[in-house]
Amino acid sequence: MEGGTMFGSGKRSRWLGSATAALLALPLVVVPPAAGATPPTTTPALFTQVTLVTGDVVSYSPNAVQISKPRPGVRYDSYRGPDGWHVLPSDAAKAVINGQVDKALFNVTYLVDNGYADAKRTSLPVIVDYDGKAAARSADRVAATDALPASKATRALPSIDAVALDVDKATAAQLWQAVVVAPSTQQRGQGTQRLLLDRRYSVDLAESVAQIKAPAAWAAGFDGTGVRVGVLDTGVDATHPDLVGKIAESASFVGSEPDAIDRHGHGTHVASTIAGSGAAAGGVEKGAAPGTQLVVGKVLSGSGVGYESEIIAGMEWAAGRSKIVSMSLGGPAPSGADPMSDAVTNLTASTGALFVIAAGNSGPAVGTIGSPGTSPSALTVGAVDKQEQVASFSSRGPVADGSVKPEIVAPGVSIVAARAVGTTMGAPVNDKYTAASGTSMATPHVAGAAAVLAQRHPDWTANRLKAALIASTKDLGRPVNDQGAGQVDVKAAIDETVTATPATVGFGVLEPGAGAQTAMLTYRNDGTADVTLNLTTRLTDPTGKAAPDGTLGLGTRSVTVKAGSQAEVPVQLTPGKAGRGSFQGLVTAVSADGSVKVHTPVGFSNGEVTNTVNFTVLGFDGKPLLRDAILWILPVDRKGADLQSYIIHGGGTLRLPTGRYYIALNFYTDEGPGLLETNAMVVKPDVLIDGASHQVLDLGTTRPVTVKTDEPGMESAVIGVANRTTADGAFWSFHHTAGVWDNNLYINPVPTVTAGKFDFQYTTTVTRSQLDVTVNGVAVHPDYLAAYGGGHDWIAPKKLKMFEGRRQLGIVYVGGGTAEEFAAAGDVRGKLVLVQANDMLTGAGIEAARRTAAAGAAGLLLFDKVWATRRSSGDSNELIPVGYLTHPEGVALVAALKNGKGNADVLGNPISPYAYHLAYVERGQVPANLTYTVRTGDLARVDSTYHATTEGMYATSFQRGGVPELMLVEPLMVPSKRAEYYGPITDRTAWTRFTSTDVAGQWEIMSARSAELRRGSRQSDDWYTTPMRYGQGEFFNMPTLPAPYLASRMGDSVYVFPLLQDGNNHVTAMIPNTAVLKTGLSRDGKPVTGIGGAPVTRFDVPADSGRYRLDLGYAPGGDYKVDTAWEFTSAPAAGTAAKGFACWDDIGEVPADKPCQALPTISVDYDLNLSATNTATAPGLGLIKFRPHHVGDIRTKVTSAKLSVSYDGGKSWLRGTQAPVGDGWQLGLVPHLRPGGTVSLRVEAMDKAGNKVTQTITNAYRLAK
């Protein structure tokens, strides 16, 4: 960087990583490229709700992300790449891009996959990182952090000058405001620098002591006696015979497990690999350092995972008590802040402890070393097998700065070590031992070797121990980014008298054209005789191909190191001789008799040739843009492309490597064309950079995307999507919202893209405006924003005051709505009041509404004086109808009045009678004409009824095809009916429709079956009809996903995965917030213990056949509940899942070819013929249709069905009158006697094989006049 500044420089500036673009002295802020994370082995195939640190609630599935509860005034950008979905609220974008806030806090894929979803946690663990400029004790830091709203400090992390805290999700927006948006004086005084996600890390699973020559060291009298080794893992089984007497201290840092007992097995395996006595195997299975004592810190739970703050706390504890700290854990190295690696570096410097850390199991790909093994102070360990071949799973180097990692390897394949009691980790050998593979298993071998060496040299600290272990390795002849210096050799380490410093030579990432580089290598001879060393070099790329001759050289090929002295040898690098990329090698020094052999790894990377690219950003007025915008740059012609993002205004300069790029600008303004809220996209999908370049991003070239429909309407839930694929087929998707309400999306025309794939998508919903006001020919369309609330309450079930129908009202302008202005306006009773509030964000609008209601006015129209289009909501619609205007609408209305008074034509439409759900896809281009005209006859019509027992708000959304996309919800008052039009219908594409609700705290997203819609077709659909119950779904939430079996058997386990269904068989896998779902299984009358919980419960059962009963109890709150009991016979599974269905275990969906069997649970469908309020008329006769049947490939015929009815909440039951009406349906006749009462239903059915179901729905529906 030349002459500029970068956020976060100074302390821990290396967290910014190495970007391919160098920032020059113009007002840009750079964020490092996003590293593509390894995809999880399983992804939840359902909508999962997760709350962001901003308080925004997102519903996530692999194919779609929905902003469940958008905040008024906030826009949402989203992008999807190899590392998942990122959702970026507009008030977070700058803080994320400039590094103040960890972008992982907005990676909803990572959050869901790693246990941060709302169903898993009610709080969000974060780390508040300080910049070190404000001197403070840890206690003061904790006190300052604990004073923050919506959170509680959990521990201080002094090694990285940070504090961990849990953020209450329900009030997270308060913390966001206090730390990021408007930090307090106290917080600024503490020097807060970053807000980071407290990431989860896990265990690194994938003849050994003899292989590293440990027995020879023992024979020489060195077995680690007197040395303490810290083991940070899942705890330890201190009762295991191999570890009795080996544990010096233990402590747990896992909040949910306060003891150090190992319930996983990994920690015990690691501990015994270091210090095990082998007592349970007659001394055979000894650890590498059986004389050492262990300091065990439990930092990972019984499931093998732990939070970053817990691990760092354990590191701080162990480093003060141990000479060596072994860490067989890790995760993908973050592209930004990496507190764990920093903790390793800082603690090594302050305590002298050597951290021995697993490289990770993400090989054989290059550059896959995990954190915290990326720390330069760590001794990072890869794995080899018994044949001394590098294991395929072992992570490879180099790290981002070109340094050599791993530095060393050790046995890590099929390692037999102690098995903790009651655990099944690895492949159990017997009740005392288990075999496991991974760099986790290699790491304790090296930790043990370090303990033996520390006994030999008790005065040595981390740097000397590390250097000696690396120098004395056995070179296996593999590329250094695979093996480091080689395999650890304990005997050679304790015998070696000559060592080299530094332990590794790293030249870093060099600029193109960099000249010769020199580093000094110092050999130290602690022996009693002079030693002459002959020096050789080898240097290869990651594939093992030798670098050109002359790239790596030495100042001398022979050097004599006198006894008790040292000698220097220049290591010379001529990078220009090698091509672009990374290179690693060894400098090997050998004495004439071979008794001394010293290895030193060497590494560097040649950077790419870059080109100067000047950017100019112009506003809508053609002048340089003075406000912040987001600049996205994505290389599209290379594999493993990383997205770069910047904050830019006016212009800036970057240096970019030669290649093709997707370049896009995203700009939000409330002062855009026509003073309307505008989200503008300037997109250049295929820009060739092969020399100096000037890129102009001109907002003036953008055009509004508009839709014209047969019926008048306002657009809402507007989303623009730009999709781009890269050379390796990676799909990147950039989503930009123009708001939940009527706002503008602008984009520039784009010529046809021929290289790779590009498309533009536009989705919107058009509905009738809820309120039309016309004064002297000036028509405005206010919004009832109080209906949408804010944050977690945006779909609140409020009884809102709204105009309905047409009326003529007087209208009076009352200025800013102060008490004095109301008094001056005179009598406003029965009139419409117009107020220009002075910044509604301060609550001025709510106060004006209260004054208006008190004055007896008919209603209020509000617009903001400060913001051009800012719309603020409040609770005032419960008092009086309050419509919110845009600033231009308000100004126009004032101008239409004479002396502040006039007459208004008011037309109220609280519920739109129609909705157009429209999706347009432009393949390969963005056309110049972005006005879409749609005719109702060209669309598919669905007459939808939204049932609700109480008045409130639902939200609807839709998806065209299976293309991953961000979905905004369109709010809808319920109960209601409307005609919904979908289209345009241009091909045989499946459409999926969703409805979500938060009535009475019940949150879920229900889905209709994905189906092709035909032009001109018409159908009906009823949502949230009674009865709501759990059972076997016939489809799943997304078009391409098979429906999970309610109950399935795999081997000796029964898995239960119920879906919530309404009376029209819409489904969801989500459990409403306040609902209680109880699952039980019994065999031959005896209960079977369930393991896990929602959405999947596992029951382990005997291998033979048995009679089972499955019970599901669902109580959403109130007096409504459903109890279902299924009885069936089950034996071990045979066959596989039927087409369209899938078995799920407690990890996720199992492969389609895995043996599994659907259990014969009988489903019951219903048609209760209820009103939109889920009530029936009384007195009268109820027509109850029900159908017991099997779903999927079970063809057993249902032979009997019985309907019973209760009018006293299930205390007594009467047999209903029923008759078959075809296709398995039964029609029951149920007397409806008294208005105000309830009707409970019970269906009992049995099939030909004796499988049974009894479903009792208590207070299924109410009776109304």
Report the mean per-residue pLDDT for the chain: 86
Clarify whether residues 543 and 488 are in a common domain: no
The yes-or-no verdict on residue 29 having pLDDT over 90 is no
pLDDT classification of 866: cutoffs 50, 70, 90: low
The yes-or-no verdict on residue 14 having pLDDT over 70 is no
Q: What is the pLDDT of residue 987?
A: 78
**Cβ atoms < 10 Å from Cβ of 887:** 22
The catalytic residue among 86, 240, 264, 266 is: 266
Q: Is 440 a catalytic residue?
A: yes
The yes-or-no verdict on residue 5 having pLDDT over 50 is no
Clarify whether residues 546 and 488 are in a common domain: no
Beta strands in 243-378 (DSSP E): 247-252, 293-298, 305-307, 324-327, 329-330, 354-358
Total domains, the chain: 4
Domain boundary residue among 447, 462, 496? 496
DSSP secondary structure, 406-440, as one string: --EEEE-SSEEEE--TT---SEESSSSEEEE-SHH
Clarify whether residues 1045 and 1102 are in a common domain: yes
Q: Confirm if 378 and 484 have CB atoms less than 8 A apart.
A: no
**Cβ atoms < 10 Å from Cβ of 196:** 27
Domain boundary residue among 885, 908, 931? 908
Rounded mean pLDDT of 782-790? Answer: 59
Domain boundary residue among 474, 496, 518? 496
Query: Which range among 329-343, 510-524, 810-824, 1048-1062 shows the weakest confidence by mean pLDDT?
Result: 329-343
The yes-or-no verdict on residue 753 having pLDDT over 80 is yes
Question: What secondary structure letter does DSSP report for 390?
Answer: B
In a domain? residue 625: no
Q: What is the pLDDT of residue 791?
A: 34
pLDDT in tens, 51-108: 999 999 888 877 777 777 677 667 788 888 888 889 988 889 888 888 889 999 999 9
* Of 1050, 1023, 1054, 1047, nearest in space to 1033 by CA: 1047
Q: What CATH number is associated with residue 413?
A: 3.40.50.200
Q: How far, in Å, CA of 703 to CA of 312, rounded?
A: 51
Please tell me which residue, 786 or 296, carries the higher pLDDT value.
296
pLDDT in tens, 980-1001: 999 998 877 888 888 887 644 4
pLDDT classification of 869: cutoffs 50, 70, 90: very low
Q: How far, in Å, CA of 233 to CA of 247, rounded?
A: 14
The yes-or-no verdict on residue 826 having pLDDT over 90 is yes
User: Cα separations (Å) of 286 from 240, 248, 385?
Assistant: 13, 18, 18
Clarify whether residues 846 and 787 are in a common domain: yes
pLDDT in tens, 559-589: 999 999 999 999 999 999 998 889 999 999 9
pLDDT classification of 185: cutoffs 50, 70, 90: low
Q: What is the pLDDT of residue 43?
A: 32
Q: What percent of the chain has pLDDT over 90?
A: 60
Q: What is the pLDDT of residue 30?
A: 27
Q: How far, in Å, CA of 1209 to CA of 828, rounded?
A: 51
The catalytic residue among 113, 118, 129, 233 is: 233
The yes-or-no verdict on residue 601 having pLDDT over 50 is yes
In a domain? residue 904: yes
The yes-or-no verdict on residue 1039 having pLDDT over 70 is no
The yes-or-no verdict on residue 1208 having pLDDT over 90 is yes
For 976, the token pair is 């209601």
In a domain? residue 768: no
User: Cα separations (Å) of 1106 from 218, 588, 1195?
Assistant: 57, 68, 21
Domain with 589, as residue range(s), is 505-604
Q: What is the pLDDT of residue 136?
A: 52
Rounded mean pLDDT of 255-262? Answer: 93
pLDDT classification of 191: cutoffs 50, 70, 90: low
Q: What is the pLDDT of residue 1133?
A: 74
Rounded mean pLDDT of 1167-1196? Answer: 94
pLDDT classification of 1137: cutoffs 50, 70, 90: confident
Q: What CATH number is associated with residue 787?
A: 3.50.30.30
Query: Which range among 338-342, 942-946, 954-958, 1053-1057 shows the weakest confidence by mean pLDDT?
Result: 954-958
Clarify whether residues 397 and 449 are in a common domain: yes
Phi, psi of 695 (to 5 degrees): -110, 120
What residue has token string 């050790």? Answer: 410
Query: Which range among 146-155, 294-303, 1182-1191 shows the weakest confidence by mean pLDDT?
Result: 146-155
In a domain? residue 725: no
Q: Give the predicted TM-score (pTM) of the model.
A: 0.80
Clarify whether residues 394 and 340 are in a common domain: yes
pLDDT classification of 1146: cutoffs 50, 70, 90: low
Instruction: Identify which of 16-20, 451-455, 720-724 has the greatest average pLDDT.
Output: 451-455
Query: Which range among 153-167, 242-256, 863-877, 957-971 shows the weakest confidence by mean pLDDT?
Result: 863-877
pLDDT classification of 676: cutoffs 50, 70, 90: low
Q: What CATH number is associated with residue 1193?
A: 2.60.40.10
Clarify whether residues 807 and 842 are in a common domain: yes
Clarify whether residues 483 and 549 are in a common domain: no
pLDDT classification of 31: cutoffs 50, 70, 90: very low
In a domain? residue 1098: yes
Q: What is the pLDDT of residue 1077?
A: 87
Phi, psi of 581 (to 5 degrees): 125, -170
Q: What is the pLDDT of residue 1057?
A: 92
The catalytic residue among 440, 605, 976, 1130 is: 440
In a domain? residue 629: no
Rounded mean pLDDT of 471-482? Answer: 96
Instruction: Identify which of 864-868, 905-909, 965-969 has the greatest average pLDDT.
Output: 905-909
Exposed / middle / buried, residue 995 (Cβ in 10 Å: 0-12, 13-18, 19+): buried
Q: Confirm if 55 and 69 have CB atoms less than 8 A apart.
A: no
pLDDT classification of 787: cutoffs 50, 70, 90: very low
Clarify whether residues 268 and 210 are in a common domain: yes
- For residue 645, give the H/E element and its range: strand 644-648
Q: What is the pLDDT of residue 1251?
A: 97
In a domain? residue 597: yes
Clarify whether residues 555 and 489 are in a common domain: no
Q: How far, in Å, CA of 157 to CA of 1054, rounded?
A: 44
Q: What is the pLDDT of residue 1006?
A: 86
Question: What secondary structure letter does DSSP report for 106?
Answer: G
In a domain? residue 1092: yes
Clarify whether residues 404 and 530 are in a common domain: no
Exposed / middle / buried, residue 931 (Cβ in 10 Å: 0-12, 13-18, 19+): exposed
Q: How far, in Å, CA of 83 to CA of 109, rounded?
A: 8
Clarify whether residues 1247 and 1127 are in a common domain: yes
